[in-house]
Structures are given as C-alpha cells and as structure tokens.
Structure 1
C-alpha cells in the first residue's frame, strides 16, 4: 500500500528486512527493495553512478540506432551522450525539446530505438507528459527510459505513465535502473543482469550496504526538503528582487492540477528568476556559495556557458537570470534567511 503516492506505509519494516543480510548480496537486496518501492517494476539493477547506469541503458539498443534525448543540456548525462557515446558507439543522438509531446513524432525515424527523457525539462524544469510521449513511442517500438532522479520515486512513478525503464537515485551517488513488468522487456532484463553479474559499472556490495544505512531516514529527509522548498517559495514570491518563482507545488501553478491528477507530488526543486537578470543571478549565486551550511544546491545554468551567445543559451532552455534551487533537508527558515541576505541591495 503506497502512502498517497509516496513511500510505502511499511517502509521501515521493509528496509529493515532487506538490510538485515549484511554485506553478502547487499547489492541484489537493495535492487529488490527498490522494486518493492515502485509498483509496476519487474526487476532492478544497481549501478555505481548515473553515467554507468546511462551506459547500461544505451547498451540495450543496437549499434547505429537513433536515440532521442530530452533533458538538461548541461547535465553529465547529456555530455556523456553527445560527446562520448555519440562518437564511440555508433549511436546517433538527437536532443529535442519535448515539453510539447507533439514534437516527438516528427523526429522519429526507422532506426529510432530509445527515448531518454528526464522527468523535469528545462527551461521551467516542469514534468513532461510522459503518458502522451509513451503513446507515440510505444507503437514505433521505441523504448522509453525516464531518468526520474530529479523528482524521485516518492513523488512520481513513471511506470504508471507507460515508461519501459526508470532510473532512480540511491544514497551514495548510486543509480538504480528498473524495468517494467512486461514480457517484451525480457531481453533488456537479461542484458542488465549480465552487466550486474560481470561488474560492468555495477555497484559493489560495500556501496549497497552503505546505501541501506542512509535509507533509514530517507523519507524524513525528502519530506523536509520539500517543506524547505515550499517555505522558500512563500518567502520569495513577492520579493522585489524576484521576477518570478516557478514551483509546481503552488496551487496556482499551471502544472499543479495536472500533477495532482497524475498522482505526482511536488519535489524540492524550484526556479527563481531575478529581476536583475544575469548579473543579479551571478551575484546571488556567489553570495549563497559563501553562506555557511547552506542546505541547498543553487546553480545558474545560463552562467555555465558565458562564451555562448544569449540567443543560443535561450534555445538550450538556459534562461537569463534564472537560478535553479534544489532544497536540502535543512530548516526552511535557514534557507529563507540565506536567500534574503543574498538578495539584499539588489
């Protein structure tokens, strides 16, 4: 029984049972635990890091296949796809803005085999219509892999929307690849099992055992981070230095009703757009970087590519003056105080 789409009510008991076996086989028990957390999953495989997990998913498709990618152009996964695997594996990559599901059909080709979709898409970091994209990809036999690490399984289960594979985050930087419970994915499960058994990017027993220890308070930390994000939104929405705050947890947000209808919960990620544009965003990010014990990750995506002209950054979904904030599990009042201090005199 899932608690409102979040963690199972019996989370603690299941975790204790899964982690009780000690080091031996800890990686497989961790994988089985994630299967229990995600209805619709048939199997799971734990990898040492997200890039190893992405490589394993790419190795499920044939040589010279076409892979469509929708997500953060600055993420390590995007760079891995375009600058490494695109040059070494014979795969052809197309990065496409799929915030509108109608954009998928025109880019599909006869050799399209995989759609890699992040569960939050730039520039607004909103969740795409996975069900609509699955309805287009499925009949063309294009596997749909959803990188759900930014949102998390307690906020949304992509299998309910038709995903074939889901990539989730686990403590310690581990990444878990889960496959849907469908017969046509048997080959994918067999190949992922081979990667696990032969150490191809797989996480070891020691890393899995450490992850079990960190999972004990995972629900509490996730809830605290979401509360901190909501508190920051409430404090900044009317701030004079802030042009806008994008957070689907707000009742008036364009995506709020759709998220609720799909059983999605608001995560700890929001976008804060400053009235002062790029210079203000650069200054605020620098001030927050110097804040002591800031329980949040604050990035200025457009500022990561200063050598790229602004119109091209806009095409990449990197809005000027927009800070991306991923709240941590610290008190909301501390996060609000740090932002107010950073926004002073702007």
Structure 2
C-alpha cells in the first residue's frame, strides 16, 4: 500500500458520507440491543452488542484496508485477540512460538496448554532450520511470529516462515503490534492471520485497552476465532471503539515520529560508555537489519532496548533520573516510556537484568536523547 493510500485512509477515518447528520467524526453507538421482528432475524444485521454494533464498522474496516485483510475483528484487549486465535485449535494440536516474544502470551500458554491438550515449542525464529525441525507435518497447526520481537527486536523472515508453515499444514500468525501496518503488512508475505495489541500504536494515547485480529481467508478456523470472541465476551466496548478510531487517524504521523526518534537514539547510544548493547533493527550492525530493510517500509519502529553496564541496580538508578522518559509498562503512546524488562516479566524472564526497554514517543528527539544521556552520565558521576 502506498503512503498516500494509507495516510489518506487514516486521516479520513472511513467517514460515512451517507450519514444523514453530515458528521465528519463517526458517532458513538451506546445501544446494547436492537429491535427485531417477531421471527427473530434483524434486517439491519445488528441484534446484540456482544456480537457487534455500528460503532465497530469504521475501525474494523479501516484496519482491514491497512492490512489488506479479508476480515477484521476488534477485541477487548490484545490478549483477548491472541488467545481467541490459539483457542481455535483442537486438543492434540502443536504450535511453534518464538523464544523472544511478549511475556504475557508466553505465561498464558503455559497454563492453557496443560488444560487444553495443546503442545507447543519455543524456538529461535532467526534460525529457519530450527523452525523446520520444530514443525511436525500434519500436527503443527500454528507457527506464531512476533517481529520486531519483544524485547530484543529480532526480525523474522515472514515469507520463509509462511512457506515452512504451509508446507507442514499450519497457519502463520504474526503479531504486528510493534511494526503496525504502516511499516509492515504480514499478509502480503504469506501470513494467514495478523494480531495486534491495539492498546499500543493503533490507539496511541495510552487510554484504550483493545485488540485486533485479521485474516487473509474467511474459513472454518476464522469462524472458530469469531465464536471465541462472541461467546467469551471479548468484544471491544463502544467508547473504546470510538477512542480507538480517533487514535488511528494519526497513526501514520505518530509512527513516523517514533521511528525518527528511535533511530536517532540508537545511533547516539551505541557508542555510550555505559551502554553494553543496543537492540534496534535500524542499526546496520543489527543481525536482522538487511531483512528488516526488505520487509519493513518507512522505518524500523519506535522500540529499542539497551543493556547498561552495572546490571539491574544501575538500570533502576537510571530510570529514577529520567525526567521525560516515564517509568511505565506499555509502548506506542505519545509519551516516551522506559522500563527494566526483567523486573516486569518476573523470575522466569530470559532477559538480561540490565536491559532497559524504551518506547519512543512524539516528544522532541533532542529532548529524549539529552534526558537519557543525563541519566546515564549521572550514574557515572559526570
């Protein structure tokens, strides 16, 4: 999709030109139930808001266009969207997940798989041979990729993963939360399903909990995903849908600014004496840089991580010294956030204790660099 089409689609927000009020902003529909004729079927298609309501049409249609999907559904959270996809599996099915991935889903998988009879393996998805070895033809049903991955921002080859998955009779699911459809469109590389924590970049204002799932094909598996949303009550609320649509209308502008700042931060931090490592796919030294250049368009994302000298204690001291960077969990908002990732993930984390995860917001890039450098230098007594 050209930047022109994406930018215009978002700015227009799929405004309904046929709305009798002439409103340029979609209205909020609060009704939870809708009139039905005696035979029970509603000619409007709306019956009860747990299955859908008019206010979902615009954000779902907008996302569908951006991702190039056949269908889109919004959920009450990113976790709700992700778990609805996994719960569409059958007992005995096998899945392959990356080692570097969102810890919330990883934690849920451990409990769910035990009770549901689902088997799964975590592999290094930068090594395609390991993925090939992990899949079991006719048994593996999902290959799950998250790229750039959290929190090391690894880049996985989506076209190659799709080929491996399809050859084994599996679907490729891609968590596109960090890249957003502005930077990457996984379905164009052969992915079957895309999921988002819409709480992050899609909303972009840290005031909405939301998720999304999109599919390349409307089939029986997708039908089970929709069943899980409808009957587990995982639908997005009316006010949240309106706020999400409002936030999405500036997605392209916010992502561009975040990418610009993240790139500048990575360049500035890679030579700092108190920084042992910088993880950002925009750096030529990043192992996935060449692949990211081919697979992403318009930037490398607004997320980066650093490992600071001195471990957890020093990392926490740095966090107390920043003024612009706010110590909080999440990403993709207009404000810049910093967190020591191991402390958030807990005792089973595989993350270095000195790793700080940074979400670049839309503040002035120079201010972000100066604030972080002041915190780093203060640690050294400078």
| TM-score bin, normalised by smaller chain | 0.7 to 0.9
CA offsets 1:204-240 (integer angstroms, 9 cap, x no match): 3332122112223222222222222123223322222
Query: Distance between the aligned counterparts of 1:74 and 1:193, measured in 2?
Result: 23
Listed as ranges, the gaps of 5+ residues in structure 2 are 18-24, 30-52, 327-334
Higher helix share: 1
- 1:272 aligned to which of 296, 306, 316: 306
TM-aligned CA distance change 1:98 to 1:234, over 3 Å: closer
Displacement of 1:148 in angstroms is: 1.1
Equivalences for residues 43-122 of structure 1 within 5 A: 43-72=71-100, 75-83=103-111, 85-109=112-136, 110-121=138-149
The alignment's C-alpha RMSD in Å is 2.6
Seen in structure 2, the aligned counterparts of structure 1 residues 2 and 268 have a Cα distance that, compared at 3 Å, is same
Tell me which residue corresponds to 1:298.
338
- Within the alignment, does 1:27 sit opposite 2:26 as a pair? no
| Counterpart contact for 2:28–2:239, Cα < 8 Å | no
In structure 2, the CA distance between the partners of 1:115 and 1:273, relative to structure 1 (3 Å rule), is same
Q: TM-score, normalised by structure 2?
A: 0.78
Q: 1:328 maps to which residue?
A: 361
Deviation string 1:151-186 (CA, Å, 9 cap, x unpaired) is: 211111111221110002332221110001x4xx51
Task: Pick which of 68-77 and 125-134 moved more.
Answer: 68-77
Asked whether 1:285 is paired with 2:284, we answer no
Q: CA deviation at 1:45?
A: 0.6
Partner of 1:16: 15
**Mapping 1:142-221, distance limit 5 Å:** 142-170=170-198, 171=203, 172-180=208-216, 182=217, 185-198=218-231, 200-221=233-254
Partners of 2:360 and 2:320 in 1: how far apart? 17
Work out which of the two has the higher radius of gyration on C-alpha atoms and give 1 or 2. Answer: 2
Structure 1 CA distance for aligned equivalents of residues 128 and 319 of structure 2? 33
Q: Is 1:239 the equivalent of 2:272?
A: yes
Q: How many residue pairs align between the two structures?
A: 331
| Secondary structure at the counterpart of residue 137 of structure 1 | helix
Give the distance between the partners of 1:49 and 1:307, measured in 2 at CA.
Answer: 25
Q: Is the 8 Å Cα contact of residues 12 and 249 (structure 2) preserved in structure 1?
A: no
Higher mean C-alpha displacement, 250-259 vs 334-343: 250-259
Partner of residue 136, structure 1: 164
Distance 1:326 1:274, change over 3 A: same
